[in-house]
Structure 1
């Protein structure tokens, strides 16, 4: 197996991306991409060319992080697996403060995603829709991220 042939892991935030890139077990086998929020057309085209490699994403546990995965799944026309984004982490994680008008819009988006968003993430938005940034979950996610990615590979049909 050569380097980076296991899959692709997208990370929303630059600092989180840098933290992931410090984990040899990940960078030796996964192509790490800083997504910087919503995917550009260039990133979408690149990911399409990387079929059949699995695409994973570690985003903020908020309506926009979930919408990023939903949007990307539709645009690349294949599954994007969230990692480090389960409902237990969301419930335990600190929620960031938002202006009331912004919170209202994010809760509206969360309500929409609770019905049509990625199945694996609907429970997060159904549990309040407030925001939990993934930087606040480093202690819980980073030590387990390599194992979480290996779990994704174990579920791939051709492995």
Structure 2
């Protein structure tokens, strides 16, 4: 398996992978693939990584700028992140996160935030310490890595 940047022509595969991965999730409203398309269209898809195995895309992670207290100042959001169902729990998502965080660190990012299950993202170093919130989201799901030294996992 290798991790690479998204290339032209990957868009539909990423969309389908994301939609399929989120479909069985009780919290999904079915917009995750559209979110990636909208980020790409607006120029806000800062980093789009795919995990490829034997020429097939088996995972994807999107990173985009986020505002903290209304200011865009070096913080990024992680998500959506998807792994093909038959390849989950094999470390692919964690590898995508690790690679993305390393690239963000190299760009001078100040932090990375996400909305997700604490049990899933804690192993990648994310934490919920009550310092971040997201409008319309239960605060317990808002997580972060907040210093550049934390962007290495």
Structures share a fold, TM > 0.5?
A: no
The structure that is helix-richer by fraction is: 1
TM-score (norm 2): 0.30
The structure that is strand-richer by fraction is: 2
TM-score (norm 1): 0.30
